[in-house]
């Protein structure tokens, strides 16, 4: 009886170790073995696997090889039109200054992978999280048409756009940037301009907050603020 107990305990520990190992990016040796078995895969996909990146055209297995197990998966559509979205979040190192911060309850986005109904990646978003408190941003090279009408970095809301009431509850957890593009972390979801959550449309995302629209009215949220 005691020997059986030890055997069951070892099996539980083994399963736990396998689960933990599955939550991180795959080892280079396993990726190399996969590429060796599948030489027909496009060169850009093989290179991205070796760099733990994700590109359009990858299969779900290749995404797992590159980034590991997603933190969250959502599905939309039905039957043959079902699509999936995989969310990956970065680990944070807790410091004393953040222990009591309201931002600590929000997950920091790392990447969002969109799959088509053919179960292939058709859109990829990697996020580089920046601090909105910084006062100086390094100069960036922008296309010629953007130089003529540059997007303002920060937004000054009107009194009517602050502390709105009668809206669905939306909380801004932070701002994510990838190159010249910015997204908003709303209710633990990463949304770009034009996307909708609870009937509320993300109009524009600025370095100091997000401009929302709901039933013809507009509201501006700074990080950590919520609609009522």
Domains of the chain, CATH where assigned? 7-126 (3.30.1450.10), 151-221 (2.30.30)
For the chain (228 residues), the mean pLDDT of every run of 10, in chain order, is: 45 40 65 93 91 90 91 85 87 55 62 90 75 41 45 81 90 80 87 90 91 92 89
Tell me which residue of 122, 110, 107, 114 sits closest to 75, measured CA to CA.
114
Other CB atoms within 10 Å distance of the CB of residue 86: 21
Give 166: exposed, middle or buried? Use CB within 10 Å, 0-12, 13-18, 19+.
exposed
Contact indicator for 103, 129 with CB cutoff of 8 Å: no
SS3 content of the chain, % helix, strand, coil (to 5): 30, 30, 40
Q: What is the pLDDT of residue 27?
A: 79
Q: What is the pLDDT of residue 26?
A: 63
Cα–Cα distances in Å, from 189 out to 48, 73, 152, 203? 26, 12, 24, 16
């Amino acid at each position: 009886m005691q020997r059986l107990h030890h055997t069951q305990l070892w099996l539980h520990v083994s399963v736990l170790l396998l689960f933990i190992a599955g939550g991180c990016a795959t080892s280079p040796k396993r990726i190399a073995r996969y590429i060796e078995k599948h030489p027909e895969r496009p060169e850009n996909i093989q290179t991205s696997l070796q760099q733990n990146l994700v590109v359009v055209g990858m299969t779900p297995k290749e995404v797992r090889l590159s980034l590991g197990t997603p933190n969250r998966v959502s599905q939309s559509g039905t039957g043959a039109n079902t699509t999936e979205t995989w969310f990956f979040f970065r680990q944070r190192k807790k410091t004393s200054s953040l222990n009591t911060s309201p931002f600590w309850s929000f997950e920091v986005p790392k990447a969002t992978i969109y799959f088509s109904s053919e179960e292939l990646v058709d859109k990829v978003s990697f996020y580089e999280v920046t601090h909105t408190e910084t006062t100086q941003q390094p100069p960036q090279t922008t296309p010629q048409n953007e130089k003529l009408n540059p997007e303002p970095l920060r937004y000054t809301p009107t009194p009517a756009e602050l502390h709105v009431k009668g809206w669905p509850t939306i909380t801004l957890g932070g701002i994510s940037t990838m190159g010249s593009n910015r997204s908003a972390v709303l209710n633990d979801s990463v949304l770009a301009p034009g996307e909708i959550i609870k009937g509320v449309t993300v109009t524009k995302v600025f370095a100091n907050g997000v401009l929302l629209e709901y039933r013809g009215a507009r509201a501006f949220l700074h990080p950590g603020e919520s609609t009522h």
